[in-house]
Amino acid sequence: ACLRAQGASETIRDSRSQSEQSRDELTTKALSALQQGGDAQAILQDLAWKLTNRLIHAPTKSLQQAARDGDDERLNILRDSLGLE
């Protein structure tokens, strides 16, 4: 049980770190574009679009693969972990 909890903690930490790296990278690019006089609305929309796509890319691929495999159990686990009904 302790090893499972440790593995879960490590997975959570890795996931958060990956998400934070994406956020920081895209925020830096957006701030640079703003400082260069870019259109604020377009830059913010682009930031939101790119960040959303990065965050949902891996879960989307996992869902698609589970569906192709006919793996209902994995689909349910993925849906639950994504907070989907």
70 compared with 1, residue with greater pLDDT? 70
Which residues lie closer than 8 Å to 66 by C-beta, 6 or more apart?
Answer: 74, 75, 78
Give the pLDDT band (50/70/90) at residue 1. Answer: low
Domain total of the chain: 1
pLDDT at 20: 98
Domain that holds residue 25: 2-81
Residue pLDDT, tens place only, 47-73: 999 999 999 999 999 999 999 999 999
What pLDDT does 4 receive? 72
pLDDT at 6: 78
Model pTM? 0.81
